[in-house]
């Protein structure tokens, strides 16, 4: 029994140890299993979260893509857009690109989520894979479509937008067509009826032709101002405010004075300005393309007449500021700001400003009266006010301009004309009897109750005892009682003075061999080649002056015909006929000389041809073959004299042909110049006829005044003498113009005669 118990105890002991070890193993495995389950649970939770993120990203992508696709389908194709819709289409494309960027973020999020799941060895469901693939394909397609649309819009803007000048084609009407030069992108105009091209807009040509009506104004400053005012109103520049200009000109940032301005940049700057003016004044600006194109043409004519593409940004700004609608002082301040630095304005910058400003009257042919293109005297005059300091301040600059210097006097005059356009003065013009006086009013400060309207003042018409030398007071607006009292006091002072003190209405620029002042009547020097002709014309004018001024008989001229006609000179037409006769005689002499030389040349050519024909027969017996045989017989060679003679004859014939061509060309030139002189003479006849009509009216007025009062007889004589003097000066100026027209004729004749003399000398030496 004991043995059995011992055996059982021995058997139970190993089993308990085994069970304990197994239980330990189970506990260990259980803990490991729990760890694995927890890890797996975390993996599942992470995967679930990523799947939720993926699902949310896919949903966002589908929603965003659907919106973009709907927007793309709702947009009008680029080829169907109108020109005015291009700007809105560009804005829509910008918003579309922003939406595409946001959609790209959603697509990237979806792709990142799927990439993370794949990195975690988690296979995606087939449905998710198909959705992701569809999203990427749709996004790629949208990206391409947006890119194509943006590129198409850019091309459309470049080809048909404001910078392309395409919309400016509507500025002309058939048969005209607007074209753009491929070399410098400058516009020109084609007339399909005449098949001609020109730089000027056809409307600009009409405007410039109408400006000729202002040439009857005697004073250059007022004449220039009236022309510029007409251009300002026709080009609608008086509708552009300085504030709007400043906002647009700020975008044209450029280096100082040298950067060239592209036409597309100028168009992009002008279009918004005229669009804004069109919204405010639709009845004044009917066509925006026409307004933009006319101003571009005007600007290029001023600063780039040869169309070299040299228009500068600074010149563009100066022209806009000068001709816009703003106060004169505000314009001066803005121009000063354009050229000023922190230290002020130096002489170089002021010279550049004045140089660009003087180009405006230069385009109208009026720059000679304002100092010409030489701005040095004006710069010197400005800096004299600050004792030639290195720079000038804005206050000193404004003080100098308020004195109305000669170079820019036309600008304040233009402003006075603009302010007085609709002004009504309760006064009556003593010449044309206009009541009320509309526009500028001029009151004589020497005569009592003498008022003159601007038309009579500009044409220098006179009335009663009023003279051109009397001081005048200009009024832009109706006068006040204080101004009337002041003027009355001035009239009394001037009446009591023995000699009135004349004061210039502008600041003259002292020139030292740098230009011609306004008072100078002759602006063209006499050429030495035409000095005899000028002397003859001047002599005729002086004799006519003496014949009309006193009763002494004039001294005889060289020609007996002129001797008889000079005594009977009664009107400028007789002098004009004499001048015309002299021109015809000179031209006839030259033409007869040319015809005689042509006949002599033809005879010489015929003689040379006959001589050449006679000399060709001995060549048959004295040719190379005969010379060779003679050499063999005599044992020596004989020189070929006829061959050298032929070469000389050919050379002389060639020189004769050249001489004949020169004579024919010179004859054509003389005929053309003769035609031009006839046109000028016809124009002068018209001018003198008008002057005669004006003079007859003045004489009739003087006769009526003489009948009314005998006490004013002496004043009427003085008035008639001054009127004759004025007509005489006009006639002398016309004769000077004829002399200058003959300058090119005589110079060409002299030069050609010298060339012919050289050819004759060469022929004689040969």
- pLDDT tens-digit readout, 32-47: 888 888 888 887 877 7
**Chain segment 376-424, per-residue pLDDT in tens:** 889 999 999 888 888 999 999 999 999 999 899 999 999 999 998 888 8
Tell me: pLDDT of 253 over 70.
Answer: no
**Cα dihedral value 374, 378, 384, 389, nearest 10:** -70
Segment holding 179, helix H or strand E: strand 176-180
Identify the CATH class of 424-479: alpha beta
Q: Where is pLDDT greater, at 635 or 306?
A: 306
CA atoms of 181 and 189, how far apart (whole Å): 10
Question: Which pLDDT value is given to residue 326?
Answer: 92
Q: How far apart are CA 488 and CA 137, in angstroms?
A: 93
SS (H, E, C) 627-695: HHHHHHHHCCCCCCHHHHHHHHHHHHHHHHHHHHHHHHHHHHHHHHHHHHHHHHHHHHHHHHHHHHHHH
Percent of the chain with pLDDT over 70: 69
Residue 375, both tokens:
């701005």
Q: How many CA atoms are closer than 13 Å to the CA of 343, on its beta-carbon side? A: 6
- Alpha-carbon distance 321 to 240, whole Å? 9
Mean pLDDT of the 500-525 span: 51
Note the residue count of the chain: 766
By the 8 A CB rule, do 693 and 743 touch? no
From 143-157, 278-292, 323-337, 586-600, the region with the lowest mean pLDDT: 586-600
Tokens 């006319």 appear where? 294
* pLDDT computed for residue 198 by the predictor: 92
Greatest mean pLDDT among 69-78, 464-473, 587-596: 69-78
- Average per-residue pLDDT for the chain: 75
The pTM for the full model equals 0.54
Question: What class is the 18-160 domain?
Answer: mainly alpha
Integer angstrom CA distances of residue 56 from 50, 60, 305: 10, 6, 68
Please report, for the chain, the start and end positions of each structural domain, with discontinuous segments joined by +.
18-160, 202-415, 424-479, 536-612+647-701+713-765
Q: What is the pLDDT of residue 703?
A: 42
CB 277 within 8 A of CB 239: yes
Residue 434 binned pLDDT confidence (cut-offs 50, 70, 90): confident
Q: What confidence category does residue 191 fall into, taking pLDDT thresholds of 50, 70 and 90?
A: very high
Residue 716 — very low, low, confident or very high, per pLDDT cuts 50/70/90?
very low
Residues 554-578, mean pLDDT to the nearest whole number: 41
Please determine, for residue 88, whether its predicted confidence score (pLDDT) is greater than 50: yes
* pLDDT (0 to 100) of residue 210: 92
Q: Which residues contact 357 (CB under 8 A, 6 or more apart)?
A: 318, 322, 407, 408, 411
Distance CA 135, CA 111 (A): 10
**Stretch among 457-466, 485-494, 579-588, 617-626 having the lowest mean pLDDT:** 617-626
Alpha-carbon distance of 635 to 686, in angstroms, equals: 87
Among the ranges 147-161, 418-432, 523-537, which has the highest mean pLDDT value? Answer: 418-432
Rounded CA-CA distance 424/438 in Å is 5
Residue 657 CA, distance from chain mean position: 46
Q: Which fold has domain 202-415?
A: Recoverin; domain 1 (1.10.238)
How many other C-beta atoms lie within 10 A of the C-beta of residue 531? 12
Q: What confidence score (pLDDT) does residue 538 get?
A: 61
- The yes-or-no verdict on residue 746 having pLDDT over 50 is no
Q: Under the phi-then-psi rule, with left for phi > 0, alpha for psi from -120 to 50, and beta for the rest, what region is 365? A: left
What is the structure's pLDDT at 354? 92
- How high is the pLDDT of residue 645? 55
Average pLDDT over residues 44-69: 84
Per-residue model confidence as pLDDT tens digits over 194-243: 989 999 999 999 999 999 889 888 888 999 999 999 999 999 999 999 99
Residue where the block lists tokens 């009355």: 488
């Amino acid at each position: 029994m004991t043995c059995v118990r011992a055996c059982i105890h021995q058997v139970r002991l190993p089993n308990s140890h085994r069970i304990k070890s197994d239980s330990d193993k189970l506990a260990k495995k259980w803990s490991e299993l729990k760890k694995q389950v927890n890890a797996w649970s975390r993996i599942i939770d992470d995967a679930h979260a990523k799947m939720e993120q993926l699902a949310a990203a896919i949903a966002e992508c589908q929603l965003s893509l659907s919106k973009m696709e709907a927007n793309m389908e709702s947009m009008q194709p680029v080829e169907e857009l109108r020109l005015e819709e291009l700007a809105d289409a560009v804005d829509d494309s910008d918003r579309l690109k922003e939406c595409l960027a946001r959609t790209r973020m959603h697509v990237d999020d979806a792709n990142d989520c799927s990439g993370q799941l794949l990195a975690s060895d988690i296979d995606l469901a087939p449905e998710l894979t198909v959705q992701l693939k569809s999203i990427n394909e749709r996004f790629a397609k949208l990206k391409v479509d947006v890119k194509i649309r943006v590129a198409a819009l850019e091309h459309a803007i470049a080809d048909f937008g404001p910078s392309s000048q395409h919309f400016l084609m509507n500025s002309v009407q058939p048969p005209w067509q607007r074209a753009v030069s491929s070399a410098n992108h400058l516009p020109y105009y084609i007339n399909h009826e005449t098949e001609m091209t020109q730089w000027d807009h056809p409307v600009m040509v009409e405007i410039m032709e109408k400006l000729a009506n202002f040439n009857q104004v005697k004073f250059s400053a007022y004449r220039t101002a009236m022309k510029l005012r007409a251009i300002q109103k026709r080009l609608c520049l008086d509708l552009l405010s300085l504030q709007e200009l400043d906002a647009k000109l700020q975008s044209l940032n450029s280096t100082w004075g040298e950067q060239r301005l592209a036409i597309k940049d100028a168009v992009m700057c002008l279009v918004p300005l005229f669009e804004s003016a069109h919204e405010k004044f639709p009845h004044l600006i009917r066509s925006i393309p026409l307004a933009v194109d006319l101003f571009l043409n005007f600007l290029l004519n001023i600063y780039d007449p040869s169309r070299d593409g040299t228009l500068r940004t600074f010149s563009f700004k100066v022209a806009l500021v000068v001709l816009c609608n703003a106060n004169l002082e505000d314009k001066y301040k803005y121009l000063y700001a354009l050229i000023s630095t922190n230290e002020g304005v130096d002489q170089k910058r002021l010279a550049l400003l004045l140089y660009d400003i003087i180009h405006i009257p230069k385009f109208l042919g009026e720059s000679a009266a304002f100092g010409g293109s030489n701005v040095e005297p004006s710069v010197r005059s400005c800096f004299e006010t600050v004792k030639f300091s290195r720079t000038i301040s804005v206050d000193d600059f404004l003080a100098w301009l308020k004195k109305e210097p000669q170079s820019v006097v036309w600008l304040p005059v233009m402003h006075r004309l603009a302010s007085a356009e609709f002004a009504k003065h309760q006064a009556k013009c003593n010449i044309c009897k206009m009541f009320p006086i509309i526009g500028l009013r001029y009151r004589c400060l020497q005569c009592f109750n003498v008022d003159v309207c601007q038309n009579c003042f500009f044409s220098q018409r006179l009335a009663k005892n009023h003279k051109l030398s009397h001081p005048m007071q200009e009024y832009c607006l109706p006068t006040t009682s204080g101004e009337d009292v002041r003027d009355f006091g001035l009239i009394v002072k001037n009446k009591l003075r023995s000699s009135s003190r004349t004061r210039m209405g502008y600041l003259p620029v002292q020139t030292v061999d740098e230009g011609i002042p306004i008072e100078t009547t002759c602006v063209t020097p006499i050429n030495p080649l035409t000095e005899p002709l000028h002397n003859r014309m001047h002599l005729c004018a002086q004799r006519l002056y003496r014949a009309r001024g006193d009763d002494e008989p004039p001294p005889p001229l060289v020609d007996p015909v002129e001797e008889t006609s000079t005594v009977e000179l009664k009107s400028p037409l007789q002098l004009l006929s004499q001048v015309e006769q002299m021109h015809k005689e000179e031209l006839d002499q030259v033409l007869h000389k040319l015809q005689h030389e042509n006949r002599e040349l033809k005879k010489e050519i015929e003689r040379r041809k006959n001589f050449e024909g006679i000399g060709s027969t001995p060549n048959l017996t004295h040719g190379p073959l005969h010379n060779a045989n003679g050499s063999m017989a005599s044992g020596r060679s004989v020189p070929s004299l006829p061959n050298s003679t032929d070469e000389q004859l050919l050379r002389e014939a060639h020189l004769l042909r050249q001489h004949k061509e020169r004579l024919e060309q010179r004859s054509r030139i003389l005929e053309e110049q003769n035609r031009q002189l006839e046109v000028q003479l016809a124009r002068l006849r018209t001018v003198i006829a008008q002057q005669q009509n004006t003079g007859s009216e003045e004489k009739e007025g003087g006769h009526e005044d003489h009948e009314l009062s005998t006490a004013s007889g002496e004043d009427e004589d003085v008035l008639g003498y001054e009127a004759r003097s004025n007509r005489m000066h006009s006639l002398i100026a016309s004769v000077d113009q004829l002399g200058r027209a003959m300058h090119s004729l005589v110079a060409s004749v002299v030069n050609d005669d010298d060339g012919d003399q050289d050819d004759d000398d060469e022929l004689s030496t040969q």
